[in-house]
Each structure stands twice: as C-alpha cells, then as structure tokens.
Structure 1
C-alpha cells in the first residue's frame, strides 16, 4: 500500500498500530502516514519535521515510529591542532592517533559556544598545538548473578579468575572485531558482579559488549553456582553518573594538554596564567568538591555533546563524558615569565566511527570532514583520533571559559554576541 492518507486513516480507526506501518509500505511512506496521523490527532503542522534530506530507510536501524527529523544547527571549529609539530610538551615524540590539524563539526543550540571554543583553539594553535593521548580503552558490561551466599560467591570468583581464556573464547565468538580485555569480579552479599571490558576497535561497542557478555554468561552459569539475574547490573555503568567510570574509565580514557606562553595568555585571553589557575582551583576543583560533583570542570560536556550530535554518537553517554577533570598550573620560566599549563582528562569518552548513528547521512558527512569516517587502519585508530580531537576541543572550551571568568568578560561576551 502506498497511499499515506489511507494508512493514516487505518491507524486512526485502529485497524493498524502505529508501529506496524513499515510492515505494509516503504519507510518514507510509513513516516509520512504516521506524520499525517499525528498532525490530525494533535492539530500540529509538522511540515518542518517532515522536511529531511535522507531516505527514511537509512534511519531504520536507529529509530522506531519515525515521523521526520530534528534539525539542529551545525557549525565547525578549528583547525584543531593535535600534537602540533612545535608543541612545547611533545619533545619530538610520536603523535597520537589524531596527529595534525582537523576541523571539528559541532551541533548545538547554545549561542556563543562555538565562538568560545574557537577562541580557545586559536590560542592552542598559536602555542604550537596540544598533545592528546588515549591512556586506557575498554567498553564495559557488568552482569549481576545470584548465589546462595559468600561461599558460592567466592567459588564463582575463583572460577572466573582461573578461566579468563574460556570466557574470552566464548565472548569473542560473537564478534569479528571485539576483544575481551579483562573481567573484574565484585561481590556484594549474595550478588556477584562481573565487569567485562572489551576493546571494540572503531565501534563505540555497547551492543557488541552486551552480546559478547551474554555468551560468556552462559559458561559462568554452567560452570559455577551463580545464576544470571540481569545482563546489566549497573556496575558497567552506562548512561548515569558513576564513580567507577570516573576512576576506572569506560570507553576511551583520554587526556589533552598544552603549555601556553604567558604573553599569549595576556594578549589573546586578556588575563594572566595566575588568574586562570586561581579561577580553576576555586571553581572547578574546590567548588566541584563542595557540590559533590563527579566532574571537576567548567563545561566539558558542552563540547562533548555538540560533537556527539554532529558525529552520530550515543548522546546519553555525555553523562559519562562529564567525568572530566580540568587542571591548570602556572609554570615560571627562567626569565620570570609565567606560562600556563592546561589539561583535561576525560575518563569515560564513549565514541565510535562505525555503527550506530555514525551511518546516518548527516553524521557520516561530519565524520568525513574530520577524515575519520568508517574503520581505521589499524582498527581502532579512527575512534582513537576522534576521542583525541574531542578532548582538545573540550580543552579549548575550558580555556576560553575560564579566561572569560578570570577577566570578568563572560557576561559581556554573551551580550556582544546577542545571546
């Protein structure tokens, strides 16, 4: 059936359920019929929501009950200079995965964000570029098992610790790319949690980790007294604030840093290294500690969220990415000039360049702008590079905002931009 009007009427009359439309027609017609139904039920004109450029079929793996698309303004910042050749911190060492200059697409509705990030990137570029490195990599899934008591818990943990190879063989049988790195047991009374960690290469890998862990759990149940209660026991921990992710990391742990000459701080940021260091200490460290925050930063999630929306990442995982620690340090040179050392450490940055939303046409183009579309060579290098670039973007945002606060220019900057 190809008439959206007739399909919409069948939904209205109850002859078809709204989620069954794709069983009777193509994806675009189903979306149009669903849109007509919603328009009539709510009295809303969905002309703009229905004006999208990609075939609805392309979004079939990503959404159900599609009626259109949410269009978010996208801009670009950069170039993002990662491990610049003249970086005062790199000391001639080999660069990270993102070595070079890249333009970073950001999608947001927050005015002044890109202008602020671009200002920070300009300063970083003038300082010779930032260093960025992946320090840890592991997508996690942590099932929870029931046991009779601590004796069975200990028996289960002992078996897991002695049979890593068997667990790896089972888990890796479900994927041609994923690799089991570690299984860490945790016991709470009659509950046993096993935190599986995987190298998922260029995929963000949440689904990959879930499927692989499910296979491994069958062996645990067969060989130990433990009974699986839930494939996810929240010790993973996915899409919620969790200290374990801030400490142990999830996805990619990445750090970016830069040393900015004192004269450049004064000329371009209109403040001093000492003033920025004090603002960071009192705001991002002491203030965050008093608030009980898991993140010790100014607004790292701003850049992460905008990059996630632009490049097709799972936007809910911005929660983990907010576990960022920003450090600032004043370093005195022999001539008495005080330079500024700045860093951001993102413990839990979950990104990929294949799978999920990265395959959608808009997001795929954004990854193409970065030169990171699809799988890398070697496997995992594209996702590593994306994480490093986002980290440098977050560093730029931290620099710019802290400088605006230290110079008391934050409000006036927004006023000047009319936002």
Structure 2
C-alpha cells in the first residue's frame, strides 16, 4: 500500500486511476488510507460496508473511499388503491431526521383505517430540452417549423438510440435567437435521464444538419432538471401522480385530535397562503421529507427531490369529514438503472415489490410513483394534524429531537 500512496503523493499515480492497477476493493482501501494520511481523519466507519464494490465503482461513483450509512425505518402498513402498486405495503424510509418515520407511520395508519389512498398516474414523460442558436428570429421560426413538419424523422432518430424509450412530444420555445426544444419521452421503468440525453444528442445532430441551427447545449435548462421551475409544476416531468383519501370526522378526531374545519384552515393558511406569500413553487407541508427518505432508500437520484417537492396539498371539507389530496406533477422515479442495482437499495425496492422491469414495461416505475404519492399523503396528513392540534413541538420533545 505504501508504494501506491507514495506514487499518489508524488503525482505519478492519480487517485482515479487506482482501479487500473488494483482490484476495486483494494483500490478503495488505498484511496481511503491516502485521504486519512492527508487529512488526519479516521475513516474506519466509512470503510465498513456491505455493498458490491465492483458494481459501485463501475456504475455509480468515482474515487470511492467507502460508504455513508443512513438509518432505514419502515412506516405502515399503508393501503394503496392504485392501478399498479400492491394494495398494501411498508414504506422504507432512509433518514437521519428523528420523528419523521413516526409521523409518516401515523399518516399510514390513518389512511389504512380510512380504507386506503386512491392513487392515479396522470402522465408519464421524462424531458430533455436542448438549446439551439439561430442566425436571427426569422431563422428561429424556420427551425421550429422544420421540427413541426418532420416529427416522424425526428422520432426515428431519437428512438434509434434506445430499445425502450419513445419520443411522444416536442414543445418549442423561442426567446430571441434562442430555440429550446423540450422533448418528452416515455422511458418505461427507467427514470430515464441517460436515455433521453443520448436520444437528445441524436436529435440535436439531425436538427443542426437539416436547419443550420447551432446546438449550443444539450440541456438548455427548460427540461428542467434538478432545479425549481414552474414549467415542471405546470407541464410535469417524470411521473405526474395524485393521491387522495376521504377521512371521516371520527377518524380525524381519533387519530389527529382535531376536526375537518381546522385541518382545512391550517392547510389553506399554511400551504396555500403562506407558500404563495413566500413565492414557493410547492404548496405543501413537507412533501420533500418523505420523497427524500424513499429516494435514498430505493436508489433514486436524490437531487430529483427538487422536482418532487413541487407538490400541492389540498384539503376540502366535505359531508362527514374531509377529503385530502396531494398532486405531484414532477416525480422522476425508476426501478431499473442508476442506484437501483445496489444491494441495499434493491432490497428496499423488493420490499415494495417493484424492483427491476415490470410486465408490461413501465408498470413497476408507475407502481413506485403511486407508493411515493401515497407516502407523501401520509406525511402531509400527519404534519397537518399535528399543527392543527398544536402538537408539533410536543411530539419532537417526546421523541428527544428538540
């Protein structure tokens, strides 16, 4: 090991090149030892893990030195009345935030006692939006016209790069000499970012060649990927999914210790008025909490919590109780690819019955979207109830999370 560390220190061997000379496990060990010597930090715990190192360094990470462990809890059972997910499941939640699992668990109990959450996937499409430079605004219009008139050709080019992805829409946006083409794909059970990026590059080459436009960037930020954006809230990105449940007055009083009118009032003044006043793109209590915990547990791209947090929670007082719903317009999830192949993440997906490709393709990813939406609904119900009953601070104090 000392020889390798000395070579790294001298610059004759790069940290990222260790796997070219050593097997993956030894490369990780040498790299970690070098970092310990350089920083004075003790990284023994980071170096203790169970995942398949060969797979991780091949598909998921560079310059690996170990793994960070995040506690995983379960909430449930949660009754889900969707079109793809199992009728009942336990939610794996990876988090270091005390009280979160307990809160979601209470929401799951409420939903299950109410007969389950109705869940539907409304739309399914991952986006990539390259930006092209036109010579002038006349040329910009010509580019858009060419795209509109050659969709069959464009679709063939895009789909030649993938056996699963299907291009079903291109929406053009022009700003001066900038032409943005927001392409939307059905990516089946994959979250699909790699798929649409590769397909987008093929389309970009075709449009450059045929129109004289200059492809400036394969992603022009109209996608919009991993950034707060109104376009995702309005048009959707990934899976657009809704979940709702009818709660009786008795259930609200028994489990939430409040009433339908107060629940609706808290949601209106907090989630609607408060979010609007803050200029928020999400109108919810803490949807990102649940999404992040499921994403980390299930090998999803954690940065896509940004899109997922553009959730709207609605509470309507109805005869005999309240109807509570969450709408998640932009939920990028997948059950194949990315981090879903790592052993611990695969086990969490197996727990939900959604790991791998579905039959027919796309059904497992949609099932996962349904489960996430139902979990978000559970989290919203519990937190809104705690706020309505003035129990939030007390709950955190009782669980020692002050």
Which whole-Å CA distance do the structure 1 matches of 2:187 and 2:29 have between them? 37
Deviation at 1:99, TM superposition (A): 4.4
4+ residue runs over 6 A deviation: none
- Is 1:158 paired with 2:145? yes
Partner of 2:104: 117
Asked whether the 8 Å contact 1:28–1:55 carries over to 2, the reply is no
- Is 1:33 paired with 2:30? yes
Partner of 2:224: 237
TM-score in terms of structure 2 length: 0.98
Asked whether the 8 Å contact 1:180–1:196 carries over to 2, the reply is yes
Unaligned runs of 5+ in 2: none
- Is 1:71 paired with 2:58? no
Q: Deviations over 1:339-373 (max 9, x none)?
A: 11000000110000000000011101110111111
Structure 1 residues 155-234: aligned runs within 5 Å? 155-234=142-221
- Alignment partner for residue 325 of structure 2, among 329, 334, 343? 343
> What is the DSSP-based 3-state SS (H/G/I as helix, E as strand, rest coil) of the residue aligned with 2:60?
coil
Partner of 1:5: 2
Which whole-Å CA distance do the structure 2 matches of 1:198 and 1:59 have between them? 27
Which whole-Å CA distance do the structure 2 matches of 1:78 and 1:202 have between them? 25
> What is the DSSP-based 3-state SS (H/G/I as helix, E as strand, rest coil) of the residue aligned with 1:329?
strand
Partner of 1:105: 92
State the aligned residue count: 400
Asked whether the 8 Å contact 2:315–2:322 carries over to 1, the reply is yes
Partner of 2:355: 373
Structure 1 residues 36-47: aligned runs within 5 Å? 36-47=33-44
- Is 1:56 paired with 2:38? no
Partner of 2:19: 22
> What is the DSSP-based 3-state SS (H/G/I as helix, E as strand, rest coil) of the residue aligned with 2:372?
helix
TM-score in terms of structure 1 length: 0.94
> What is the DSSP-based 3-state SS (H/G/I as helix, E as strand, rest coil) of the residue aligned with 1:401?
helix
Which whole-Å CA distance do the structure 2 matches of 1:36 and 1:268 have between them? 52
Which whole-Å CA distance do the structure 2 matches of 1:268 and 1:53 have between them? 39
CA RMSD, 1 decimal: 0.8
- Is 1:384 paired with 2:381? no
> What is the DSSP-based 3-state SS (H/G/I as helix, E as strand, rest coil) of the residue aligned with 1:176?
coil
Which whole-Å CA distance do the structure 2 matches of 1:113 and 1:351 have between them? 21
Partner of 1:82: 80
Unaligned runs of 5+ in 1: 84-94, 333-337
Structure 1 residues 140-151: aligned runs within 5 Å? 140-151=127-138
Which whole-Å CA distance do the structure 2 matches of 1:67 and 1:77 have between them? 32
Deviation at 1:218, TM superposition (A): 1.1
